[in-house]
Amino acid sequence: MLTRRSNDCKLEIAWGYESERYSFPAGHPMNNSRTDSFVKALGKLAVERPRSVHLSKPVAATEEDLLLFHTKEYVEFVKEKSRIGEGFLDYGDTPAFPGVYEASLYTVGTTLFGMNQILEKKTDHFFNPIGGLHHAKRERAGGFCVFNDAAVAISRAINLIGMKTVAYVDIDAHHGDGVYYGFEKDERVIIGDIHEDGRFLYPGTGFSNETGKDKAKGTKLNIPLDPGSADEQFIKSFDRIEKFLENFEPEFIFFQCGADGLSGDPIAQLQYSSKAHAYAASKLHELSHRICDGRILAMGGGGYNPTNVESAWIAVATKLSER
Ligand SMILES: [Zn+2]
Ligand SMILES: [Zn+2]
């Protein structure tokens, strides 16, 4: 058993049966079976690090929370589809199922809860494995994402809490289009996003000339990588993101750590190992203590190979709980 070193950090991770409700029908890649081995390994990590890794329960958002980012029409549409329990929430990637609305409330509510836990100093850092649903737009679902927990939390941070600047870092294989376009013209949201080139992968966006618009120009850094890119390219790109973030003074770091960039993912073609996630989590962890009092919240995102989900997210949890 590892003992806690004096400078280890407290990481709270939310998991419970509610986490498994956000699961599309069997055969869909975003099915709760993808997290089975991660959850077992997480239990083991919590036993090994009883003083630094704490498990807590998912929390449901309110409708009012959703409206911080999403439109009323869209929220009503999801409720209705949730009652009917069939059809699609978008053009065909994101199916409705009975209770999809209630299940989605936990993806958002847990990210908001995590942000509060950090701000109230009840934990140093927080990880919501069922969050990071970065493709959802204000007025529609997309790419397996119903509500955009990251965008709701960012909206709360800048519009309700009054933070002047926050950072959003996204290493999922797919471009975080819902967050990017949600804040493309907002200079308060600094974005660094590494992903497989949109010419080869959904959602087909995130090119290097997309740097923000109007007065937000220069506040976003998109780094598309060729299919087949591995740890070496990732690490070089991540170092650029780290330097980029240091030009600003974010008060909070949101970290979407999708695991679908690892070699062997069934829907993306990058070739990272979990070293990519360990590197990113470790660097962002250090950076958070340097620039924003350690305020960093991780969100799971994609990842459709269970072994990869386990290794990538355990690497994140490990690096966020040790210094
Ligand atoms: Zn820390
Ligand atoms: Zn993805």
Q: Which tens digit of pLDDT belongs to each residue from 28-81?
A: 999 889 999 999 999 999 999 999 999 999 999 999 999 999 999 999 999 999
pLDDT per position as a tens digit, 259-289: 999 999 999 999 999 999 999 999 999 999 9
Mean pLDDT across the stretch 228-235? 98
Confidence of residue 316 (pLDDT cuts 50, 70, 90): very high
Helix (H, G, I), strand (E, B) or coil at 120: coil
Ligand 1 centroid to 285 CA: how many Å?
6
- Token readout for 42 is 């997480």
Residue given tokens 């990017």 in the structure block: 180
Ligand 1 centroid to 86 CA: how many Å?
43
Which of 201, 67, 44, 35 lies closest to 131 in space, CA to CA? 35
pLDDT at 8: 87
Confidence of residue 26 (pLDDT cuts 50, 70, 90): confident
Ligand 1 centroid to 211 CA: how many Å?
29
Q: Which ligand is nearest to the CA of 256?
A: 2
Confidence of residue 4 (pLDDT cuts 50, 70, 90): very low
CB 267, CB 187: distance < 8 Å:
no
pLDDT at 2: 46
Instruction: Please state whether the predicted TM-score (pTM) of the whole model is above 0.95.
Output: yes
Dihedral sign for Cα atoms in the order 109, 107, 181, 216: positive
The number of C-alpha atoms within 13 Å of 4 and in the hemisphere containing its C-beta is 16
pLDDT per position as a tens digit, 127-177: 999 999 999 999 999 999 999 999 999 999 999 999 999 999 999 999 999
Q: Which ligand is nearest to the CA of 300?
A: 2
Ligand 2 centroid to 32 CA: how many Å?
15
Q: Which ligand is nearest to the CA of 266?
A: 2
CB 259, CB 308: distance < 8 Å:
yes
| CA dist list (Å): 5 to 2, 8, 65, 278, 321 | 9, 5, 38, 19, 10
pLDDT at 5: 52
Q: What percent of the chain has pLDDT over 70?
A: 98
Q: Which ligand is nearest to the CA of 52?
A: 1
Q: Which residues fall inside 5 Å of ion ligand 1, going by CB?
A: 9, 124, 294
Pairing type for strands 53-56 and 166-170 reads unpaired
Q: Which ligand is nearest to the CA of 293?
A: 1
By mean pLDDT, which of 3-12, 85-94, 190-199, 259-268 is the weakest? 3-12
Ligand 2 centroid to 45 CA: how many Å?
25
- In order, the DSSP letters of 67-101 are TTTS-HHHHHHHHHHHHH--SBSSSSSSB--TTHH
